Amino acid sequence: MVNRYVAFVKKYAKDNDMHWNCAVCEIASNDLYVTKTKAAKPKVVKPKVVKLKVDKPKERGFDTVSSELQQLLYSVGTPKIIKSLLNLNFRGNMDRHPISRTMQILKSFNTVQKMEELISELKSGSKGGGMKGGKLNVSEIKAFLEASYDVNDTNKNMYGYDLDTEISNKWGKVFVNQLSRKVVIAHRGTRSTTDWANNAVMALGAYQLTDRYKTGESLQQAAEFKYNGYKIYTIGHSQAGQLVHLLGKNTTGISLNPAYMTPLKGEFQGKNEFVIRASFDPVSSLTKGMQNAALSIMNPGYNARNNIVIKSTTSDPLQEHAITVLDRLPQDMLIGRGKSNITYKINKDILKQYKNI
Q: 19-23, 108-112, 341-345: which has the minimum mean pLDDT?
A: 341-345
Query: Could you give the percent of the chain with pLDDT greater than 90?
Result: 22
Q: Please answer whether residues 165 and 214 qualify as being in contact, where contact means their C-beta atoms are separated by less than 8 angstroms.
A: no
Specify the pLDDT at position 147. Answer: 94
Helix axes 112-123, 78-87, angle to 10 degrees: 120
pLDDT score of 206: 63
Confidence class of residue 261 from pLDDT cuts 50, 70 and 90? low
- Residue 53 has a pLDDT of 61
Q: Is the pLDDT of residue 222 over 60?
A: yes
| Mean pLDDT over the full length of the chain | 76
Residue 180 pLDDT grade (very low, low, confident, very high; cuts 50, 70, 90): confident
- Per-residue pLDDT tens digits for 322-350: 999 999 999 989 898 754 333 333 344 43
**Pair type for strands 273-278 and 252-256:** parallel
Q: Does pLDDT of 198 surpass 60?
A: no
In the chain, % of residues over pLDDT 70: 69
> Which letter does DSSP use for residue 323 in this model?
G
Q: Looking at residue 259, what is its pLDDT?
A: 80
pLDDT (0 to 100) of residue 112: 86
Q: How confident is the model at residue 301 (pLDDT cuts 50, 70, 90)?
A: low
Q: Residue 50: CA atoms inside 13 Å, Cβ hemisphere, count?
A: 1
Which residue blocks in the chain are alpha helix, DSSP H?
2-15, 20-29, 62-75, 78-87, 98-108, 112-123, 138-148, 193-203, 211-226, 240-247, 285-298, 300-306, 317-321, 341-354
pLDDT of residue 251: 92
Average pLDDT rounded to a whole number, residues 154-173: 91
107-110's contacts with Cβ under 8 Å and 24+ in sequence apart are: 109/69
Give the Cα separation of 156 and 105 in Å (integer).
Answer: 25
Residue 36 is predicted with a pLDDT of 46
CA distance 156 to 286: 36
Q: Give yes or no for residue 35 having a pLDDT over 90.
A: no
Cβ(36)–Cβ(65) below 8 Å: no
- Does the domain made of 135-338 have the CATH classification 3.40.50? yes
Which of 77-91, 186-200, 223-237 reaches the highest mean pLDDT?
Answer: 223-237
For 37-44, what is the mean pLDDT? Answer: 53
pLDDT at 128 over 50: no
How many whole angstroms separate alpha carbon 262 and alpha carbon 71?
52
Helix and strand totals (H; E) in the chain: 14, 10
**Tens digits of residue pLDDT in 42-94:** 666 666 666 666 555 567 788 888 888 888 887 777 777 877 887 777 766 66
Average pLDDT value for residue range 122-146: 72
Classify residue 324 by its DSSP letter: G
Produce one character per residue of 334-356: b if its CB has 16 or more CB atoms within 10 Å, e if not.
Answer: ebbbeeeeebbeebeebbeeeee
